[in-house]
Structure formats: structure tokens, C-alpha cells
Amino acid sequence: MKVKFLPIAIAIVAFAQTSYAQYSQDAFRFSTFEPGSSARIKAIGNAGTAVGGDVSSVGFNPAGLGFFTKSEFSLTPEVNSSKVNSNYFNVNNSDTKNQFNLNNVSLVFAGKASKRKGSDLTKGFVGFNFGVSYGRTNDFYQNTYYSGVNPNNNLADYLVEQARNFGVDGVPQSFGYSEYLFDNIAAANQPPVYEANTDLNSTQINQRTTTGGQNEFNLALGANYSNKLYLGVGLSFNSLRYRSTNVFSESGHQFVDDVDYNTDYTVDQDTRGSGFSAKFGVIYKPVEFVRIGASINTPTWYSIDDVTSYRMRTAYVQSNTYTDGPEDYEFNYDLTTPFRASGGLAFFLGNYGFITGDIEYVDYASMKISGNGDAGYDESADNRDLRDLYKSTVNTRVGIEGKLDDFFIRGGYNYRPNPEKFNGSAIETYSAGLGYRKNNLSLDFTYTNVFSKRTDYPYTLDPTYDISPANAISPAAALENKTNNFYLTLGVRF
């Protein structure tokens, strides 16, 4: 195995509008999580900072545990249906992925504070409640497909650029050189001059499959002080698993030998990590129908192991087939995700329901990577990318719940502005749900629709690269991500 040093092995062109370092991309990917929660809280746009009294409080705002007067267990499975629409050189495609997961399991133990005989049971600390939960905070299951005819450039142009910048021995340019996609046309004993051997107007296809997710195991304690002030603290143990297989295929004509070719360039990534974080929260009731909440989520400190493998295969029609790789690169690094601070306000309408809203501040530019002792790795370039390519955001969540006897109807909206300066879009989530509670049993169902856009580059070219300026445009696929999620929570109080 080899250690994957970022600038050479990934062979990127570092200019902000079209290229991202892999580790800065991964840092962002692993920092964009949402708390795992019950179907009830998801139905109100995940606006749970000030609501309290829901099992989601264990991993959300632990102060909400102070509202419990009975112990409760809940289980929340989910079904996700992801669809990615793509446009690449005016060719439309789409791909889908359906997945079943366990989103949340929570257990709350309610307890009363010890009081002297004859003392006022509603003053001072009234109760201390403990909660434990498992939550799924991020989902990576997705299939992406796009294809089209590229009139501007091809894979060989990218490989030539890498050979000129980093030498012909690096990955993936060494693959393309040995498979005759480009050649050194310099005279003997002269500095190398690399040129592409392939014509324009090649057919290009990019297929990517990603799987995995992020999870957290939470321990939390909530306290009730005089039925007015609720305090909470929690500790989270986090884990992540991310797998990606990206196959870029190109079919075209190699003019040196006057033969058609088919090339597949494959990158496999397998990433695992574990970490921890802490949560602190407070909810205050100035009057009975108003709740004001706030919570702080410390950064998550991750230790991450990454293995990335590269391989290439080129088949010439009625001629030879060449294969290079796999070349495997291992890297261990530490990641610090952003600090998060949330504030919420909830208005309760007697026994008829409530209206609530949250805002959450996240500074994605504060993400930080360190090399975890790997000799030769300089994290300064990645951390500079994180500062230059990302920014802080204020996320907004609003929701409403109506109650009629034992039945509930809910709706919500979640808006997360785009933290990327040069790519992507805001993420919008619309949600709706129904609930039923009778005695000690509850059943909640929620549907959410998530929408976002981004631009995907199968490879990037420097505009100063000396193919004709018009051809130095990095090929770009416009992607629309649409995800339909279904959640069902079964709760039991005891």
C-alpha cells in the first residue's frame, strides 16, 4: 500500500471554481449532517430546539428531556428513494436508488428529584431524566449517471495536463501514457513534450455509486427546574462509513494508429471514521404557552481511515487491450467538523397544537484537517481550500402541529443555504406527517421531499492549459438531487 499524498496522487488542478481537493470535499461531506430524530420532529421540519418532550431530545437538544414525566421507548425505520437528474452536453439522464434504514432508536428513563416531606414538589429541581439513543445523521446512498458527446476536449487532454504539471509517472497519467492515449513527441534527448493522441467529439459516460452513512450513539441527561427552566447535557459517539465507485468511460478515435478505443477509468474509495462530540441545551418557559430554546453542539472530532484505488483499462477495436492498476493509496487523518449553535421559539395553542421555528448557525469554513502523524503530508493546502471554498450559513426550520382528540397533523419546512462558494445550491426540505396517540402508545408517519442542485466535473482542466482556449473548458454535468423519505415511529410509554 502507498500513502496517498493529495496533490500528486489525486492529480488535481487547484483552482477554486472547478476543482476540489478530495479531502476538503470529504470534510464537507462529513460535516453536513442533520440530527437523527423521530417522525414527529421530522414532520415539523426538524425544528425541535424549543419543543421538548420528544425522544429526539436525546440527540437534539438534551434540555427537552426535562419535560418527560414517564419513561418512553421509540423506534423509527425509514425508506429513502433518491433520484438524480443530469444534463451533460444537452443530453438528459437520470438514475435512482432506494434504501431501507433504521433512522432512530431512543429510550428515555424518567425520574423524580428527591424532596423532603412536606416541601413544594413544583419548586427547585423537579425531575432528572436520562436518555440513550441511536440516530442516523447522514445518508450517502445514491446513484448518479450522465453521458454525452464532448466537442471540446477528452480524457487524454486531462492526462496530458497532469503529465506536464506532475510528471508522467504519477497516477492516473502513467496509466494513460502506457495505454497510448497520449505520447511524448519530443525529439530524442530533448525535454518531454506530451500531446494527446485522441480526437475530439468522444462519447463520455460517468457512473457513480455511493453507499454508507453517518450515525451517532447519544447519552444525555435533562433536568426540570420549577417547571420553568430545563437544562440538558449530552455526549455523542459518532461513526461514519462512505463507499464510492466512480467509472468514467470514453469512446472515441485514436488518430495515431487510426483505431477506435474504449477507456474505463475507475476510482474506488472506502472511508471509515469514528469520533465524539458534546451537546448542551436549555429551554425556558417565561409563560405557559411560550418556550424559548437554545443548544450548542461542539465540533465532532473524527479519526478517519481512507483507502482509494485507481485503475484504467483501454481496449482498441480489433487490436490490443491494456490494463493498469489497481494502485491503492491509504491515508489516516483527523477531521474537526464545525461548531453549531441553535436557537428556537415555540408557541403552544392550548390543547390544539403549536407553532415552532429554529435557526442554526454553522461555520463550514472552520472545518479542519490534520495528517494524524503521516510523514510527508502537509494539511495546509486542504485547510486553505476549506477556508477559501466554504462559508458560514444560518439554517432555518419551521413547523406546525395541530391536534384533534387523539390525532395529529403536522407540516414543516427546512432551508439550508449553500455553504459552498463556487458550486452547489441550497437544500430545501418540505415535510408533512400524521400522528396518533392513545394512552401509552403512539404512532407517527412522516413524508419529506428534499431538493438540491450541484455541478459535477468528471475531470477539470486549467484554463491556461495550451490546448485551444475554447477547448480548455472543464466538462460539467448539471445535477438535480431529489429524495423522497418516509419515516414511521412507534412509541411506547411506561
pLDDT tens for each residue of 440-452: 999 999 999 999 9
Who has greater pLDDT, 376 or 144?
Answer: 144
Residue 45 confidence (pLDDT) above 60: yes
Residue 375 CB contacts under 8 Å (≥ 6 apart), including other chains: none
CATH no. for 2-493: 2.40.160.60
Q: Which of 245, 159, 154 is closest to 207 using CA atoms?
A: 245
Per-residue pLDDT band for 207 (boundaries 50, 70, 90) equals very high
- pLDDT per residue as tens digits for the range 17-29: 333 356 888 999 9
Tell me: pLDDT of 9 over 50.
Answer: no
The pLDDT score that the predictor gives to residue 1 is 35
Return the pLDDT at 48.
95
Q: Does residue 310 surpass a pLDDT of 60?
A: yes
At residue 15, the pLDDT reads 28
Tell me the average pLDDT across 367-390.
83
What integer pLDDT is reported at residue 112 of this predicted model? 82
pLDDT of 285 strictly over 60: yes
Mean pLDDT in residue range 165-172: 93
The whole model's pTM is what?
A: 0.90
Q: How far apart are CA 271 and CA 266, in angstroms?
A: 17
Residue length, the chain?
494
Instruction: Kindly calculate the radius of gyration of the chain based on its CA atoms and give it in whole angstroms.
Output: 27
Cell 471509515 sits on residue: 272
pLDDT at 2 over 80: no
Could you report the per-residue pLDDT of 216-254, keeping only the tens digit for each?
999 999 999 999 999 999 999 999 999 999 999 999 999
Given a contact cutoff of 8 angstroms between Cβ atoms, the answer to whether 317 and 260 are in contact is yes
Q: Given this model, what pLDDT does residue 382 score?
A: 85
Q: Is pLDDT above 60 for 5?
A: no
> Where does the pLDDT of residue 364 fall: very low under 50, low under 70, confident under 90, or very high at 90 and above?
very high
Cβ(232)–Cβ(66) under 8 Å?
A: yes
pLDDT in tens, 422-434: 899 999 999 999 9
pLDDT for residue 280 is more than 90: yes
Does residue 191 surpass a pLDDT of 70?
yes
Percentage of the chain beyond pLDDT 90 is 83
Instruction: Map out the domains of the chain as residue ranges.
Output: 2-493
In the chain, pLDDT over 70 holds for what percent of residues? 92
- Which tops the pLDDT comparison, 33 or 372? 33
| pLDDT exceeds cutoff 90 at 391 | yes
- Specify the pLDDT at position 371: 82
**Residue 125 clears pLDDT 60, i.e. is over it:** yes
* Mean pLDDT, the chain, whole residue set: 92
Considering only 11-15, 247-251, 273-277, 475-479, which range has the smallest mean pLDDT? 11-15
The sign one gets for the Cα dihedral 459, 160, 260, 469 is positive
What mean pLDDT comes out for the span 330-341?
Answer: 95
Q: What is the pLDDT of residue 123?
A: 84
> What pLDDT is recorded for position 201?
96
**Amino acid 470: pLDDT:** 61
In this prediction, residue 467 has a pLDDT band, given cuts at 50, 70 and 90, of low
Q: Is 198 exposed, middle or buried (0-12, 13-18, 19+ CB in 10 A)?
A: buried
Place of cell 430554546: 293
User: Which pLDDT value is given to residue 117?
Assistant: 67
